[in-house]
């Protein structure tokens, strides 16, 4: 009986550790042209403010993200996404958003209708 309880306790602890580690992984949009991150779930921006990484709801007026500017999704465990910034800067310095292929429309005049 003690072995069964120990096994169950061990299994619960492992499952709890696995769930908590997975829950910490976050998705961020990274904007290479501005070196800015956007925490998707937290709805906050993270930017370098004179050497200190700062988290804000609204970017300061000196940083403007243009609609349609290239962004890439990066994944990071924890809240310190800037810890990988030097790698992101190098990896995405020439990043261009993939071009979308135009969708052909037949306006309902195609064959088989």
pLDDT of residue 104: 62
CA distances from 94 to 2, 32, 70, 81 (A): 60, 8, 10, 20
pLDDT of residue 65: 92
pLDDT of residue 103: 62
Please state the pTM of the whole predicted model: 0.65
pLDDT of residue 10: 46
pLDDT of residue 23: 55
CA contacts within 13 A on the Cβ side of 91: 11
pLDDT of residue 25: 87
Q: Which residue stretches of the chain have pLDDT < 70? A: 1-23, 97-113
Residue labelled with tokens 């052909």 = 104
pLDDT of residue 3: 58
pLDDT of residue 69: 84
């Amino acid at each position: 009986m003690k072995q069964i309880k120990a096994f169950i306790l061990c299994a619960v602890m492992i499952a709890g550790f696995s769930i908590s580690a997975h829950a910490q992984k976050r998705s961020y949009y990274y904007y290479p042209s501005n070196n800015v991150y956007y925490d998707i779930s937290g709805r906050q921006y993270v930017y370098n403010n004179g050497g200190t990484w700062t988290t804000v709801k609204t970017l300061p007026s000196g940083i403007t993200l243009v609609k349609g500017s290239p962004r890439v999704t990066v994944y990071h465990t924890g809240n310190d996404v800037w810890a990988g910034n030097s790698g992101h800067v190098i990896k995405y310095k020439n990043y261009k958003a993939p071009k979308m292929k135009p969708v052909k429309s037949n306006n309902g005049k195609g064959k088989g209708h």
